[in-house]
């Protein structure tokens, strides 16, 4: 089943066309990467899908229902949740308090046992859900530590854990590996890969092309606001348009 369908979305800022008629379909449970050179329009595309920008034209469907133009909060309540490039944690709160805060959408419910078709365990209270997420994300030992005291990699894991508290069907990750050392990247990438075991679909924008190629089932590549390629890692690395766009440039070049 297709969980996210993007149909010819475009975004214009005056005479500037930031995104031009991009379409893609993501099936449930897939880890999809969205990559492209600097200024290619991938972040704008992310904003259009998640409701932080309204498309000039085109449509976004989530679980078969249109979400175009809806607010991020309303979209999140439907099960599409995103993180941000800058680690979105409450720095002065403890790790446990951060994850607890992530349940705010469910605050008026007696249970977080939500019918969202994921394989996340049904848990009867927010406290139990918080504890399960901390354990699953290997954050239990730091539960009472202020978030600001965590290394960058663990803050990124905490950001994902907090988003997981919303119990999303689709999790959009904005550069989850940015600024991390190789060990931290490996740890966070492993956590991202593990989310698909619970039926959670992942869409991520990332500069680290090698990591994207290693963890994503399929990759969409855009350049100058247009989709230029889509396929598996093997297909993408051999695609002439992608090689021309940036894979053929110096290894240190960021997408």
Q: Average of pLDDT values for 26-49?
A: 94
Residue 93 has pLDDT above 60, yes or no: yes
The pLDDT assigned to 253 comes to 40
Enumerate the β-bridge partners of residue 5. 25, 61
pTM over 0.75: yes
Residue 143 has pLDDT above 80, yes or no: yes
Q: What are phi and psi of 157, to 5 degrees?
A: -65, -40
How far is it, in rounded angstroms, from Cα 204 to Cα 216?
9
Note the pLDDT tens digit of each residue in 148-198.
999 988 998 999 999 888 889 999 998 888 888 999 899 889 999 998 888
SS3 at position 132:
helix
- Give me 12's structure tokens: 């214009």
Instruction: Give the confidence band of 248 by pLDDT, cuts at 50, 70, 90.
Output: low
Q: What is the residue-wise DSSP string for 169-219?
A: SEEEEESTTTT--HHHHHHHHHHHHHHGGGT-EEEEE-S-HHHHHHH-SEE
């Amino acid at each position: 089943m297709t969980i996210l369908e993007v149909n010819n979305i475009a975004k214009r800022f005056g005479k500037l066309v930031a995104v031009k008629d991009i379409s893609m379909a993501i099936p449930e449970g897939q880890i999809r990467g969205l990559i492209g050179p600097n200024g290619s329009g991938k972040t704008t595309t992310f904003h259009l899908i998640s409701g932080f920008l309204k498309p000039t034209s085109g449509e976004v469907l989530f679980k078969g229902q249109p979400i175009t133009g809806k607010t991020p909060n309303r979209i999140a309540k439907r099960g599409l949740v995103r993180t941000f490039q800058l680690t979105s944690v409450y720095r002065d709160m403890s790790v446990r308090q951060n994850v607890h805060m992530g349940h705010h959408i469910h605050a008026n419910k007696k249970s977080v046992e939500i019918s969202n078709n994921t394989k996340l365990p049904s848990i009867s209270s927010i406290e139990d859900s918080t504890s399960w997420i901390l354990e699953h994300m290997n954050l239990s030992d730091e539960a009472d530590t202020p978030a600001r005291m965590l290394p960058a990699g663990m803050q990124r894991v905490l950001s994902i854990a907090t988003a997981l508290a919303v119990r999303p069907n689709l999790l959009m990750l904005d550069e989850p590996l940015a600024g991390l050392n190789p060990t931290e990247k490996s740890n966070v990438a492993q956590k991202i890969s593990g989310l698909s075991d619970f039926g959670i679909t992942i869409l991520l924008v990332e500069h680290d092309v090698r990591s994207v190629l290693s963890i994503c089932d399929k990759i969409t590549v855009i350049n100058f606001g247009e989709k230029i390629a889509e396929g598996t890692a093997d297909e993408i690395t051999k695609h002439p348009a992608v090689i021309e766009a940036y894979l053929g440039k110096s290894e240190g070049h960021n997408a």
